[in-house]
Amino acid sequence: MVKAVVAGASGGIGQPLSLLLKANKAITELALYDVVNTPGVAADISHISTPAVVTGYLPKDDGLKNAFTGADIVVIPAGIPRKPGMTRDDLFKINAGIVQGLIEGIAQYCPKAYILVISNPVNSTVPIAAEVLKRAGVFDPKRLFGVTTLDVVRAETFVAGIVGEKDPSKTTIPVIGGHSGETIVPLFSQAKPSVSIPADKLDALVNRVQFGGDEVVKAKDGAGSATLSMAYAGYRFAEKVIKAVNGEKGIVEPSFVYLPGVPGGDAIAKATGCDFFSVPIELGPSGAEKAIDVVSSANDAEKKLLEACYTGLKGNISKGIEFVQNPP
Ligand code: NAI
């Protein structure tokens, strides 16, 4: 029995993500929460002939409570997306409060749920979530994940284009650090199976992974940021969590977590100087069961990228923590 909740279910990411979750037969209950349009989205999705019983909630009539109570996994794509010229950090003002409110609801109604934060800026919204959960006395670092899978998916796709691999998902590439611009660090030297990227193409490839989101923002020309590829990526991560919780072994995917609270993470936090950081995470029944150190084996070029990552990321993390500790 798995109850999944999507908070922000009526949005550009929320709708296709809800559709993918509805298609997953391991899910028995799917609750869709948003401040608008969930009755319609839920009615539509509920006609799909898979096991999940679908319900839709708005804030009125205790909607948050009813949606979240009993949830095993809550995926959060709520909040505003970028428009051309905006950075993810520009979203902070609005999305910080939205994420805070939703996490307060989780702390109250489903404190044991696995929480997957998609809302940007992930580098700050995940620290906000951790702070809120800590204050409520229910923080379990093994259950809080910032979803950085889209960066991984992009790296797989762009590399396949260069090396001529027909199925991009066959190559595993650790993409670590944070989830915005220079804080995103793909470690192509640790790709499995190994890939040989021509030296004259490497910088452009790294840059494309770091700023791939901008391509979509520009192409959508004011209509938002990545939604369909993000729904795929968010679903891929949610599916892995569900499989791992149900006992499947050997599932690893990078995610932005609170490292000191995840086994193996403390040393990585010390080496990077960042408590919140994305590294490959081994998933299991208790959530994030092991943080895998890929930082110490980065090559020299990647170490240089990591230095830039640490600087930006530390500021983003502090900004999130500060938002909860000293509200504006
Ligand atoms: P959208 O505007 O299409 O949808 C957002 C939804 O959130 C709307 O339906 C809105 O009504 C809802 N919402 C607003 N306040 C809410 C609240 N308090 N409770 C519940 N729902 C609420 O935006 P889109 O394109 O779906 O993006 C959502 C978020 O995901 C943005 O912050 C965006 O930057 C982020 N994102 C993250 C990515 C990642 O890799 N982690 C990639 C792409 C986008």
Q: Is residue 276 part of a domain?
A: yes
In angstroms, the CA 66 to CA 164 distance is 49
Q: Which residue range(s) make up the domain with 272?
A: 148-319
Percent over 90 (pLDDT), the chain: 96
Both 71 and 24 in one domain: the answer is yes
pTM (global) more than 0.95: yes
1 labeled binding residue: no
94 lines ligand 1 (CB under 6 A): no
Spacing of C-alpha 170 from chain mean position: 21
Residue to mutate, 35, 94, 149, ligand 1, most ligand atoms under 8 Å from C-beta: 35
Given the residues 3, 22, 179, 208, select the one marked as catalytic: 179
Residue 303: how many CA atoms within 13 Å on its side-chain side? 6
Which pLDDT score is estimated for 83? 85
Question: Sign of the C-alpha dihedral, residues 141, 265, 122, 219?
Answer: negative
Give buried/exposed letters for 202-221 (b at 16+ CB in 10 A, else e): eeebbebbbebbbebbeebe
Residue 154: pLDDT above 90? yes
Q: Could you report the per-residue pLDDT of 270-286, keeping only the tens digit for each?
A: 999 999 999 999 999 99
Question: Sign of the C-alpha dihedral, residues 112, 59, 136, 124?
Answer: positive
154 lines ligand 1 (CB under 6 A): no
Q: Could you report the per-residue pLDDT of 26-65, keeping only the tens digit for each?
A: 999 999 999 999 999 999 999 999 999 999 999 999 999 9
Cα distances from 30 to residues 16, 41, 51, in angstroms, run: 13, 12, 10
Residues contacting 270, CB < 8 A, separation 6+: none
Q: Is residue 326 part of a domain?
A: no
User: How many CB atoms are closer than 10 A to CB 262?
Assistant: 23
Percent over 70 (pLDDT), the chain: 100
Instruction: Look at residues 131, 146, 161 and tell me which one is the last residue of a structural domain.
Output: 146
Q: Could you report the per-residue pLDDT of 60-113, keeping only the tens digit for each?
A: 999 999 999 999 999 999 999 988 988 888 899 999 999 999 999 999 999 999
- CATH code for position 6: 3.40.50.720
Both 171 and 232 in one domain: the answer is yes
Q: Is residue 328 part of a domain?
A: no
